[in-house]
Amino acid sequence: MVVKALKQFIEKQRQSIKERQNEKNDLENFRQSEELLKAEELKKEADRLAQLKQYSTSIEEYNKALEIFPYKGDEPEIFRNAAEFLFKVNYNIAACYSYLEDFENAITYFDKALSVNSTDDENKVRALMGKGTTHYRKKLLIEGRYKLGAYRIAMDADWEIDDKKLDEYKKEDHKHSFIKQSHDCFAKASNLDKNNSDAWYSKGHMEFLMGKIKDAVQSFDNVLNINKNYENKEGINLFDEIKREKGIPVKTSEILMRESSMEPVFKTKTGHMVRSRAELSIANFLYENSLMFQYNNVATWADKDEFRALFYVPKLDIYIEHFSFDYIKEYQKIMKTKIREYEKHKKKNVYTTSSDEVNIEDALRLKLKPYIVL
């Protein structure tokens, strides 16, 4: 009788403990469900404020949502919906900070978005692209080019970066290159999504700026293999060259505009910086044949003050020009005007064109034959 009563007591205790645990679990589930709903409401309000460009207030609402959200994102396993929520909130906070030109906080929150466990590759690519762009925008501020190009910073007219912050950026860039950091992000993004033309283009752009021309060529080649009509957002001459090599048409107006504003990025064997691969080939050919040259100097003898000679070889007293876009009607006028200027002033001149780029060295040997045997 005693044993039976004891067994009943123990069973009752077990049942009571189980019921209390179930009640606790139910309460916790209810609390989490309630917190999830509140967090979702706060996020929606923050999204609305961000659409209205009230970025500071939006950030406050996003942070409130994160505070009450029952998951933090660093759990070994996290529900997909919870991971998606955490990613979006952190990503949106990063975007708001970016619009406010607070790049440090933007990068911090892009990293938080990337650190959420169970984040899928598509979201990781978005965050990496945002982070890479933010690094590059800091470089644009240093160079005073923040209002130009696809990465331009759309700021209020009265916004100015203070000198102290600019000096900090310059020191940081000198220590940890912004372009390299940007490239690392774009490289990871293109590795995660090999069909993402934006990632390949941005990666190639950074490689172009770093002087890694072979890598840039490969990245741009990948862009055009994915989308042959991809827009050259940054007006990179190398990208247009690759397009032309593939037989893909390039808008004439864009070419002519960029031709006049191209920056030298290719380093020759003499240490000169030139603007295209064709110019690089010509410069290296002259150097290898012991023909010292002057590059892109103002011709004081010309009628126009801004007239520049591409290459001048003092030893032969001859000028060498290269016309990359001679197949374009509008460009042909520029080409003929320049040739006439040499003829008018009785200056020796040879030139190469787009068709010579297949083997520019052989073309130069032939064109220079009347003046020297090479």
Q: Which CATH superfamily is domain 30-150+164-226 in?
A: Tetratricopeptide repeat domain (1.25.40.10)
User: What is residue 141's predicted lDDT score, i.e. its pLDDT?
Assistant: 79
Write down the pLDDT at residue 27: 39
CATH number (3.90.1150.10, 3.40.50.300, 3.40.960.10, 2.40.50.110) of 266-368 reads: 3.40.960.10
CATH 1.25.40.10 domain position(s) in the chain: 30-150+164-226
Region label for 340, one of left (φ > 0), alpha (ψ between -120 and 50) or beta (otherwise)? alpha
pLDDT given at position 317: 96
Structure tokens at 341: 């200027």
pLDDT of residue 187: 97
Those residues of the chain that have pLDDT short of 50 are 19, 22-31, 147-148, 153-159
Other CB atoms within a 10 A radius of the CB of residue 309 amount to: 22
Question: Are 125 and 87 contacting, i.e. CB atoms less than 8 angstroms apart?
Answer: no
The pLDDT assigned to 226 comes to 97
Task: For residues 176 and 107, give the distance between their C-alpha atoms in angstroms, rounded to a whole number.
Answer: 15
- pLDDT for residue 29: 47
For residue 165, the model assigns a pLDDT of 75
* Helix or strand run (H / E) with residue 282: helix 277-288
Which residues of the chain are in CATH 3.40.960.10 domains? 266-368
Stated as kind and residue range, the H or E segment containing 353 is strand 348-353
Q: Residue 131 is encoded by which pair of tokens?
A: 């982070």
Neighbours of 167 (CB within 10 A): 11
Rg over alpha carbons for the chain, rounded to the nearest Å, is: 31
Q: In sequence order, which residues have a C-beta less than 8 Å from that of residue 191 and are 6 or more positions away?
A: none
Query: Residue 250 has what pLDDT?
Result: 76
